[in-house]
Amino acid sequence: MTQKDHFVWQKLQRHFNTDDLTIVVSSRWKFTAHLLPDLQSNIEELIASRSPELFGFHQFDEWSPMKLSDLTTSEGKLVVRLAPVQRQDIDIGEDQPYASLNNGLWLIWIGDMPAAVMLSKFLTRRGPKIQVEIAHLPDDVSHAFAKDFLRTIQEQGKRSRYYRNKVVSLESDEFMGTHETMRVHDLDPVSRNDVVLSKATMDQLDTHIFEFVKCREKMKRLGQSGRKGILFHGHPGTGKTHVIRYVASNLPGHTIILVTAEQMLNMEEYFALARILQPCVMVFEDADLVARAREDISGQKAETRLNRMLNEMDGLGTDADILIFLTTNRLNALEGAIASRSGRVDLVLEIPLPDDDCRERLIRQYGHALNFQDEALAEAVVRSKGASATDVKEMVRRLVQRSVARGGSLVISREDVEVVFAGAEAVLNPLKRDEETVRRHIIDQDDEDDCGSC
């Protein structure tokens, strides 16, 4: 009857055919956990032809990186037991999630020489990390394989197959605040016909984004930078996010990285990810919550966010194929070192309140099922003056509700417009007046939180 092994050291002794595991040498490397599916796939492909056997093992402390030397311990409380192979489903934006390992030990063969590869996950305050270690006997062939193995997975890690050309963001652990995995977002595509802006604004988008990307490689060969920062500003509801979705939908071959304000303390992780997934677009919405003027900053956390953002933007080389989009409703509140500094922000583009022509196009678009009679449409355009695209959308929705409530007639009269738009103005205007108060409360609250941790 075959003896059953209960501890990892037993498996290793049998595999290396020695009672003295101190003769085994190893090399290791640490990686970010965000690209774990790519890293694990690369490892499995490199050892697929080497008769791999996979085993799981117990990890005592998730905050301490395990080493292969830990697995060789054969006495005391820290002896590592064999355990079932544990997997975790990770969303990669496909029909099926990726079954990633929490940890694993592969026993392999380099020709007729034994070797082992260990993958283990551990936590840090900056987020989870992955450590990969390869152990082998001290012969030249095994040493050359181990060196090439680590070099290859490092190089392959720079060319993600699972997250490239998708819309992604880092997911935070609810309690620890660390970034565990990435989330893949399924955003509806936005066509050019779905964007209602003036010709001048559309021309700016074409010139500074789409044409820039088309010319980027030739410009880089002429010594020009391949990165660009663009700041979109305007009143709330003018469609800044909608414009970014339009741009993202029409930049083939680009990965979109979404960065939220509460995650910006891990700025280095985002920019490291951008370098791997380039060409890419980084989107920082509500940038004024992080990059507001220094004289308005009273908390240590906010100042740290700002400094890290500036440092990372400065650290991008001229050969980086990275577009940085920032949005704000409060242009004057932004730190001048970002808003007025070429090389960080190269274009400041206003997404303005819609003019008469744009409001008419918006009303027709949102109310495509309605039949405007006589001067009803013209009246709607006049009465919506000063309204944002979001306001216009709500006004049209109320017109539709009014038509449904009276029996489903889709005919809209001038009287309908007068009643609905007058009521909408009465509600929307006080909300706009209160918006600045609410926003300032959010910023002040963030500063108060800082004081508790200084």
Strands 347-350 and 228-233: parallel
In contact, 92 and 184? CB cutoff 8 Å: yes
Q: What pLDDT, on the 0 to 100 scale, is given for residue 2? A: 52
267-301 tens-digit pLDDT: 778 888 888 899 999 998 888 777 666 666 666 66
**pLDDT above 80: residue 145:** yes
Q: What pLDDT, on the 0 to 100 scale, is given for residue 441? A: 42
Q: What pLDDT, on the 0 to 100 scale, is given for residue 371? A: 93
Q: What pLDDT, on the 0 to 100 scale, is given for residue 437? A: 45
For residue 59, what are the contacts with CB-CB under 8 A and spacing of at least 6?
66, 102, 103, 120
**Which pair of tokens denotes residue 218?**
């030739």
Mean pLDDT of the chain: 85
Distances (CA, A) of 84 to 43, 55, 369, 393: 20, 7, 59, 55
Q: What pLDDT, on the 0 to 100 scale, is given for residue 43? A: 96
Q: What pLDDT, on the 0 to 100 scale, is given for residue 263? A: 66
Write out 124-171 in H/E/C secondary structure.
ECCEEEEEEEEEECCCHHHHHHHHHHHHHHHHHCCCCCCCCCCEEEEE
Phi and psi at residue 163, in whole multiples of 5°?
-110, -10
Tell which residue, 29, 26, 2, 24, has the closest CA to residue 13.
Answer: 24
375-387 tens-digit pLDDT: 999 999 999 999 9
**pLDDT above 90: residue 25:** yes
**Higher-confidence position of 179 and 95:** 95
**pLDDT above 60: residue 176:** no
Q: What pLDDT, on the 0 to 100 scale, is given for residue 421? A: 85
Q: For 105-109, 234-238, 300-304, which range has the lowest pLDDT when averaged over its residues?
A: 300-304
Q: What pLDDT, on the 0 to 100 scale, is given for residue 445? A: 46
| Fold observed for domain 187-352 | Rossmann fold (3.40.50)
**pLDDT above 80: residue 403:** yes
**pLDDT above 90: residue 42:** yes
| Fold observed for domain 356-443 | Helicase, Ruva Protein; domain 3 (1.10.8)
- What ranges do the domains of the chain cover? 8-156, 187-352, 356-443
Q: What pLDDT, on the 0 to 100 scale, is given for residue 61? A: 84
Average pLDDT over residues 184-211: 93
Under the banding of pLDDT at 50, 70 and 90, the label for residue 334 is confident
Domain 356-443 in the same topology as domain 187-352: no
Highest mean pLDDT among 115-129, 333-347, 359-373, 404-418: 359-373
Q: What pLDDT, on the 0 to 100 scale, is given for residue 11? A: 95
What's the length of the chain?
454
Q: What pLDDT, on the 0 to 100 scale, is given for residue 178? A: 45
Write out 70-85 in H/E/C secondary structure.
HHCCCCCCCCCEEECC
**Higher-confidence position of 273 and 338:** 273
217-270 tens-digit pLDDT: 999 999 999 999 999 999 999 999 999 999 999 999 999 999 876 666 677 788
- Taking the whole predicted model, whether its pTM rises above 0.85 is answered as no
